[in-house]
Amino acid sequence: MAELDLDPFTDVLDVPMYVVTAAAGDDRAGCLVGFASQCSIHPARYMVWLSEANHTFKVALRATHLTVHVLRREQRELARWFGSQTGDRVDKFERVAWHESADGSPVLNEADVWFVGRIEERIAGGDHVGFLLTPTEQSPPAPQAPALLRLSDVKDFEPGHPA
């Protein structure tokens, strides 16, 4: 039987887009991510899925924590920078303001809503690997939920690191 893709399903969901960052030693990395969701309430856990092809995946393998940021709708160019370039060729952190979380994971100053998560486990998903995260630090509560950048806003982007 022919393999189905999930486009008709995921197009309707129009998931929010994230920038996920990692650091290990002097290496920093980050990429645009659409595959992510909460997966436990007690304990609070979140799962993000990184493509094995990405520079971010390679750094994340050596990291203890990841930072998961959501972007406001108007932050399309920031999303393009992280989603259409690869850290194999550019230093994405040269052009953006960031600071270190308590655990050394990069936090993008432009993002209002983010959390840092300790990597508990990695789970094979197919061409992406799931990083199971327990939150250790997070941005202050947003006064009101921002309009988020979603898949439909960035569908025209060419991934910087094709799988």
List interacting residues with ligand FMN (CB under 6 A). 29, 31-35, 49-51, 54-56, 83-88, 128, 151, 154, 157, 159-161
The residue of the chain with the least Cβ separation from ligand FMN equals 160
- Kindly state the smallest distance separating residue 109's Cβ from ligand FMN, in Å: 19
- Which of residues 33 and 119 has its CB atom nearest to ligand FMN in the complex? 33
Residue 59 near residue 87, CB atoms below 8 Å: yes
Residue 29 near residue 87, CB atoms below 8 Å: yes
- Which of residues 84 and 138 has its CB atom nearest to ligand FMN in the complex? 84
d(CA 110, CA 134): 23
- Kindly state the smallest distance separating residue 125's Cβ from ligand FMN, in Å: 10
ω into residue 143 within 30 of 0, thus cis? no
- Kindly state the smallest distance separating residue 143's Cβ from ligand FMN, in Å: 28
d(CA 26, CA 157): 29
